[in-house]
Amino acid sequence: MLAREAGEHIAAARAGHVEVHATKSSAVDVVTAVDKESEELLFERLGQLRPGDGFLGEEGKARESTTGVTWVVDPIDGTVNFLYNIPHYAVSIAAVTGEAKPGAWQVEAGAIFNPATGEMFSAARGEGSYLGDQRLQISSPPPMNLALLATGFAYSSAMRREQARVIAELLPEFRDIRRFGTASLDLASVATGRVDVYFERTLMPWDHAAGELVVTEAGGVIEGLGGQPPGREGLFAGHPELVAQLKSRIVALQGDTLLSEIPGWGLE
């Protein structure tokens, strides 16, 4: 499987010295040379195996689709964890049909591979969600005060301040909060029951394409915020009851303000 092949390349590179190659949206939004190498590998392999399919990668590789299928790829999700040798990062690959855009696409298949642990999460539409050979099924949710919430934070200082305000209000209402730093694995954690519910803002398409299907094929839901499709403005994942409760609280806390209306949200 291509996710595993790219993951093995990443793991081999991580055994050596890794440095920041560049930054993107801010000084803390880093890219390593290994991100680029992983994306190049996937771009070339998919071009050989699936000529005509499109490609949308985090590090800029792109190809138009002539088949109706586009591969949405994060070559290393959790680059900061990778940089610091924290064993919680992943290769995330999804095949989507329709327009390669959240809310417009239909995710057909997805794989999320953590090369540090060897765990492979996968799903195909209508065929279930798996960790290795184990089929995943989201269980009945606990009360919100006993639920474990996963979240993440943006790269911009202004947006982090806004997110911290909301999380500070939510913290006493949950069992606890986890911030692992890898959106695709957060979504996989919902499907496996390692966390009960997940919410994040400012995600990009490659952050959640594969994870969406892993969650929904395990019986969970993926929802957006403020009438927007799941993704940039906000994404919830989990059992429908918990997602509804969390969304209601975030709206009550005015945490559903459109990104464009948060001063400086996209700035360092």
- Which pLDDT tens digits describe the chain residue by residue (268 residues)? 789 998 888 888 777 666 555 444 554 444 578 888 899 999 999 999 999 999 999 988 999 999 999 999 999 999 889 888 999 999 999 999 999 999 999 999 999 999 999 999 999 999 999 999 999 999 899 999 999 999 999 888 889 999 999 999 999 999 999 999 999 999 999 999 999 999 999 999 999 999 999 999 999 999 999 899 999 999 999 999 999 999 999 999 999 999 988 888 776 4
30 is in which domain, residue-wise?
Answer: 2-135
Q: Cα(252)–Cα(139) distance, rounded to whole angstroms?
A: 27
Type of residue found at 31: V
- Evaluate whether 118 touches 50 at the Cβ level (below 8 Å): no
Q: Which is nearest to 210 in space by CA: 179, 187, 233, 182?
A: 187
What are the φ/ψ torsions at residue 33 (nearest 5 degrees)? -60, -30
Q: Cα(80)–Cα(256) distance, rounded to whole angstroms?
A: 27
The confidence score (pLDDT) of residue 31 equals 56
- pTM of the entire predicted model: 0.93
Same domain, 108 and 159: no
In total, how many domains does the chain have?
2
Same domain, 128 and 215: no
User: What is the number of other CB atoms lying within 10 angstroms of the CB of residue 101?
Assistant: 14
The confidence score (pLDDT) of residue 78 equals 93
Same domain, 148 and 195: yes
Q: Which residues of 234-253 are buried (b: 16+ CB within 10 A; e: fewer)?
A: bbbbbbeebbebbbebbeee
Q: Residue 8 is inside which H or E element, if any?
A: helix 2-14
Residue 267 counted as domain residue: no
Same domain, 106 and 64: yes
Same domain, 155 and 81: no
Residue 266 counted as domain residue: no
